[in-house]
Amino acid sequence: MTLTQVSSWQSFGGTLSVHDHESALQNCTMRFAVYTPPQADPEKVPVLWYLSGLTCSWANVMEKSGLQRAASQHGIMIIAPDTSPRGEDVADDDAYDLGQGAGFYLTATQEPWAKHYKMDQYIADELPKVIAEHFPAADMSRQGIFGHSMGGHGAITLHLKHPDMYKSCSAFSPITSPCQVPWGQKAFTAYLGDASVAWEQYDATELVKERQTKATILVDTGTADTFLERELKPEIFTEACRKHGQRLDYNMRDGYGHDYYFIASYMDEHIAHHARALEA
């Protein structure tokens, strides 16, 4: 599979690079970023996937979170995919929370979305093959996943579905009960149709009832998050984890919001969490 490098920068002894490739699954050109730590020459290093939130791309976390310092320190490769398929031929919506930039890490079954919107399959299947082929330092036997908001939803659901692949998991301000909040209900109705069992397959609260993992899921959410009561509702997921025996370290951080100032404040702790789990 051909990979085109778009840009590259040195950072904390490693390299941040941005790449395009043609996705057969998504039927469009997809872009992603990779931070390769200095330890990757000559060693193999663990791989940590970061999934961004609504309206974002690979750029937000790579440019705003300061993750390169901790990734360099621990010797972890970090990959930031896009949040949706993109392009003139890709279905979109005028609203910020649907369409391009709002893929919700699922496989759409409804028109006009079904042709392109397969972000969960893309991240769990197609893109890892690209990484394995073009980044030989990536140790695909040691992978973790984390994300923010919509990306936190994606990270936790993918971890619960693929615990042998993603051995560690964490999230910032995740949407963990999308079936019960406006963001999730809107997206699921558009992408998946009327409420059904299909919705539950992309809802962390529903999944954890049947799919507990051995990992401790780390979550940080700000008490000043403007979406806390309407969209995040952390008490629903925390109660489901308690009831069904899923290990969860859920922290409410006083005064923090739903932004990259918050993410940057706790990024080092999250990368250290994954480093311990992946034996970096």
| DSSP element (H, E) containing 189 | helix 182-192
Predicted model pTM: 0.97
pLDDT (tens place) for every residue of the chain, 280 residues total:
799 999 999 999 999 999 999 999 999 999 999 999 999 988 999 999 999 999 999 999 999 999 999 999 999 999 999 999 999 999 999 999 999 999 999 999 999 999 999 999 999 999 999 999 999 999 999 999 999 999 999 999 999 999 999 999 999 999 999 999 999 999 999 999 998 899 999 999 999 999 999 999 999 999 999 999 999 999 999 999 999 999 999 999 999 999 999 999 999 999 999 999 999 7
Q: Annotated catalytic residue: which of 92, 97, 139, 225?
A: 225
Question: For 136-185, what is each residue's pLDDT tens digit?
Answer: 999 999 999 999 999 999 999 999 999 999 999 999 999 999 999 999 99
| DSSP element (H, E) containing 65 | none
Of the candidates 205, 208, 232, the residue with the CA atom closest to the CA atom of residue 221: 232
225 annotated active-site: yes
Number of domain units in the chain = 1
189 phi and psi angles, rounded to 5 deg? -65, -45
Q: What is the CATH number of the domain that holds 125?
A: 3.40.50.1820
Side chain identity at residue 49, one-letter code:
W
Contact by Cβ (8 Å): 9, 59:
no
CA distance 121 to 127: 9
Q: Annotated catalytic residue: which of 19, 162, 258, 273?
A: 258
The residues, any chain, with a CB within 8 Å of residue 107's CB and separated by 6 or more, are 117, 118, 119, 120, 121
Structural domain span for residue 95: 4-278
Q: Annotated catalytic residue: which of 23, 84, 149, 177?
A: 149
24 phi and psi angles, rounded to 5 deg? -70, -30
